[in-house]
A and B are shown apart, each in its own frame.
Chain A
């Protein structure tokens, strides 16, 4: 069943259109930066963007930083929101269940396929970022470059590679919470749009509350709180605190909402 879901994912034109669109924005940014040479001042704008003018090897990170706050979670919410509700709307859910596919197995397969989508998207965005970064930005050949960490000390090329890999992994993990929430909503409704919008509403609320001092007590529980912690991976030494908290928090979201999705879906009357 997992293989079937993965096949459905890669054979659906929409998957590739979404990834293409996600890729377009960082590429546009790279082109604009290369043409104008106008980076944002250090400490403003998306993370790493001020650094990429001199150092193209950081552009994969900058690209992730560009899509992380909005584009990537929107795409994940849409794909995960569609997972069950889309089948229900199309009528194929009842045929899968009488095939029979166990409801728990179906849910797990859907989660795996959403995770596959996240991995695929992050890898494609980072790879495109690497190519555009190398072609358009940063003049010195990679091997001899000593990249400057966020803390100001030098990182070797291998260190940059390792930490970029870690950062990609962390971005993937950051999306798990949204995926689980959207999947849960997807089992509640027969309209994929409602499920995706429900998950997005949660993210918007979370982003809003984070800007509010009065909501400080809630901050550690908000799903977007630790998203940008991947920047900490480029401090010297690596500042693990928020990264670890973020990963644990996303794990908790997955447990709670996947559990809720399972409880709801396995006892639900399928009337679609």
Chain B
């Protein structure tokens, strides 16, 4: 659905996006991770034809961008760096205007489609209130409603839970899962690891403009081959396991992939076990391992954040 090759954006002497090869497949919920200023937004804007790439190729739904924008973008719903609407008009009037502004989506079905998306995002009870009077969360929902108007095959969402309260975040997550179940591919850019970990099937990590990791989330989080044991009898366990274990904080990491056998062994020897299970790396561990915290190694200390990359 999204494929880029050597995608590069240079602002003067600053390399904002550097040779990025994205590969988002149909049916993915793709989590695009990166710190603020890592080039996420610039990449998203290039995918959508807002920012023109310095070099490299972009393919969206099998067509080259930005050349085929007129055919591709009607099948794409996007939320780019926060929602925007005309404040003096109602949410419904805003959706009508944006739908009427371009192709794809007929006039005859407009009213019905607007009703549907407003209900989907939970704004159907708002009525004629102007957007000026909306809360941040309501604006975010309106933005998502606009993205859903033509039941897009691909959703490109930049930080969709920004400004939402915990309840709103949960509803947004449920909505995205539902949309994915109905067949939309979702490209979600975020700096929130937890959000991506809960939602996504595939992950790409951008660090200072470079794509440093791209893989299935399930593979990244596969068991590491060690078992984590939490026990009050640390010394006894250590003695029993004889070199197979390392103490990490209050946890004992034991080599070996069979937690059941290890449990039996410990209990037989009278070691009390509070918790026990296979060790998995968290997404945070994975991301921290591939990103380079000070950037000195790769690009020198003078790099400033890219334009359009909100702090």
Contacts and interface: CB of A to CB of B under 8 A. Distances in A.
The answer to whether A binds B is yes
Interface of A: 1, 3-4, 7-8, 11-13, 90-92, 94-102, 267, 269-272
A100 B45 contact: no
Nearest to B306: A271
B70 A269 contact: no
Contacts of B86: 8, 90, 92
Nearest to B102: A99
A4 B45 contact: no
B146 interface: yes
Contacts of B82: 91
Contacts of A92: 84-86
A96 B98 contact: yes
A199 to B, nearest CB: 23
Dominant secondary structure at the B interface: loop
Contacts, number: 78
Contacts of A270: 45, 50-51
Given A90-B84, A94-B84, A101 B51 contact: no
Contacts of A1: 101-102
B78 A98 contact: yes
Given A1-B102, A98-B76, A269-B308, 19 more contacts: A4-B97, A4-B100, A11-B89, A12-B88, A13-B88, A91-B81, A91-B83, A94-B81, A94-B84, A95-B84, A95-B146, A98-B48, A100-B74, A100-B102, A267-B52, A270-B45, A271-B50, A271-B51, A271-B308
Contacts of A98: 48-50, 73, 76, 78, 80
Contacts of B101: 1, 4, 96, 99, 101
Q: Which one of A101, A102, A271 has the greatest number of beta carbons of chain B within 10 Å?
A: A271
Interface of B: 45, 48-52, 69-70, 73-74, 76, 78, 80-89, 93, 97-98, 100-102, 146, 307-308
Contacts of A96: 98, 101-102
A97 B69 CA distance: 10
A94 B79 CA distance: 10
Contacts of A101: 101-102
Nearest to B50: A270
Contacts of A271: 45, 50-51, 307-308
Contacts of A8: 86, 97
B110 to A, nearest CB: 12
Contacts of B70: 100, 102
B88 A97 contact: no
Given A1-B102, A90-B84, A99 B51 contact: no
A267 B52 CA distance: 8
A90 B132 CA distance: 12
A3 B100 contact: yes
A190 B80 CA distance: 17
Contacts of A12: 88
16 contacts: A3-B100, A91-B81, A92-B84, A92-B85, A94-B80, A95-B84, A95-B98, A95-B146, A96-B98, A96-B102, A98-B49, A99-B102, A102-B69, A267-B52, A269-B45, A269-B51
Nearest to A1: B101
B211 to A, nearest CB: 21
A5 B85 CA distance: 14
